[in-house]
A and B are shown apart, each in its own frame.
Chain A
């Protein structure tokens, strides 16, 4: 284990972790669904509502000034968090899902035409699939999918040129798969796409808080993520877009905050990001997210990534010693293995695994993980998943594996 950071000590920053569930100490391994929040984030929210609350942008008074400074400060912080060249390229949304819907409804509606291809991968979360199905139906574009090799959860890039055809207008792909735990080579894919003049979106829901992200180095045009998966509050997310891409995009919703001047029949819109943020935004969300980003970067996302990978590697090694288990995604020691492990036990349904694990205090997730087409491709309905974060320990992984062993015994009896 990494010696440079006191991983045990940081658990004290997360009061929620210190409790028992059904009489057993909580082992929270559902971080891919949502992470827990450190005190600094909770306190930032409380402070905002206790001292600074006011609407942003339109007020002259002191409180309005404070909340506007905090709100725009968070935007600048996001830009630094993902190495975006400019804060004006940061659009606040409700989360990854809304970020992708925004892009489909604005960029998609104006750039796609019949015959165009939206290239996705077979491992996309429904939030990077359904919005594209919807806009494809409206514009006459069609979807294509880069295949997944199988249980090992890698993208099959051997015939990429067959997929990256001149008809492709957009390549949208998940950075880290939430159901397989695969880290995809998005840098390479973006470079290939760029050569073909294809616009790219990276779904960073599972990556933004787990490894250092530099959108310029990734070479994508758009990057989306959710605050709640990176220690921030729910209800806040981000869409980053390259300035030249944002410039050509029509507004998303109409309303206050997004206009320069409005008349009864015509309105002139503000430039990005405000063009895409109609109405009073979530103000406390960005403020909480700011505290979360500070927290993560004080640890260092390079350290978090190492810790994630070590836990996943350990979990994989221990689980693979069990009989009658099917593991999904890259092997534990693969450099493409991110901090979560999806698995199935023979003759035990994922729901039953999760119910029993919960009785032992271990919070897992079972289901299709919003990747139903992928599940069907792999010939399963669902998997059980343990997903790790920096506050999880090796001892917790051992407890989790013990519980899985006991579950096998329970259903084997």
Chain B
């Protein structure tokens, strides 16, 4: 019945949604940020451990749909080892990919989010964790929302 949604619910996404990676708090983290999706009330909290300019560890907790959970899970896997600047550049690439579906250069496994733009209501879910990342890197503690994200 749902052959057509495979571009949204790709195997990698289903896998990360069922078995989210780095799904725990980091009590000794350097920075943390919260993301909230006011549409559904979902929220997640992202934890980063930084040394100098580099992200040594990343993890998240929270409730969310399959897309937002998988997105956060893949985020934590992908930003480990990156500098602030590299992570910010990755945000731009991933955001471009999620909102337009167009190739933004090599983003590895994150390419599975290329199908999300066809489901405008779900763009916010996919991008939530990434906004939290940006906020965490700024060192901010105010919760971010995706309310004004074009969808």
Contact = CB atoms under 8 A, between A and B. Distances in A.
Interface of A: 22, 347-352, 355-356, 359-360, 366-368, 372, 375, 381-382, 403, 406-407, 410-411
Contact of A351 (B18, B43, B122): B122
Interface in B1-16: 1-2, 4-5, 8-9, 14
Interface size bracket, B side: 20 to 34
Given A355-B8, A381-B63, A367 B2 contact: no
A355 B66 CA distance: 11
Given A351-B67, A352-B66, A368 B2 contact: no
B9 to A, nearest CB: 8
A356 B119 CA distance: 11
A411 B122 CA distance: 17
A359 B66 contact: no
Interface in B54-85: 63-67
B67 A359 contact: no
A356 B41 contact: no
Given A356-B5, A359-B2, A359-B5, A351 B125 contact: yes
A366 B68 CA distance: 15
A410 B42 CA distance: 22
Contact of B4 (A22, A368, A381, A403): A22
Contact of B2 (A349, A350, A382, A410): A410
Interface of chain A, main secondary structure: helix
B107 interface: no
12 contacts: A349-B42, A350-B65, A352-B9, A352-B66, A355-B8, A356-B2, A359-B5, A375-B41, A382-B40, A403-B1, A406-B2, A410-B9
B142 interface: no
B121 interface: yes
Contacts of B14: 411
A404 to B, nearest CB: 11
Given A367-B40, A372-B41, A375-B41, A349 B64 contact: yes
B124 to A, nearest CB: 10
Interface string B15-50: 000100000000000000000000111110000000
Q: Which of B5, B40, B42, B63 has the most CB of A within 10 A?
A: B40
Contacts of B39: 367
B67 to A, nearest CB: 7
